[in-house]
Amino acid sequence: MTRGRKKFSAEFKAKLALEAIRGDKTIAELAAQHEIHPNQIQTWKKALLDNAHAAFEKPSAKTDQDPGKLYEQIGKLKVENDFLARKLGR
């Protein structure tokens, strides 16, 4: 019998990574407690440490864009792409 991959929420990954960083329990203990391979917790811990600076960065203007404007821009680009494809004989 094969088991499917488990999917974990970002909150769960962050919680386990923080527990691993805190060091109250070893990674092996956390892995056994949550039935996860220790390498997975180590990967999440490394990802958290590598990207922790993002929590203190100012949000970029790109993330604050109105979704309606983005859809409008996508529409314009699609029209341009279709036009150019017809001109090239595709």
Question: Would you place residue 2 in the very low, low, confident or very high pLDDT band (cuts 50, 70, 90)?
Answer: low
**pLDDT value at position 65?**
66
pTM, to two decimals: 0.60
**Residue 37 DSSP label:** -
Whole-angstrom distance, CA of residue 19 vs CA of residue 30: 8
- Give me the residue spans of the domains in the chain: 7-57, 59-90
Instruction: Write the pLDDT tens digit of every residue in 51-82.
Output: 999 888 887 655 556 788 888 889 998 988 88
The pLDDT, as a whole number, for residue 41 is 96
- Report, as an integer, the average pLDDT of 47-53: 93
Average pLDDT of the segment spanning 27-44: 96
Q: Cα dist. 43→25, 59, 65, 72, 73 in Å? A: 16, 25, 32, 38, 37
Predicted pLDDT of residue 86: 87
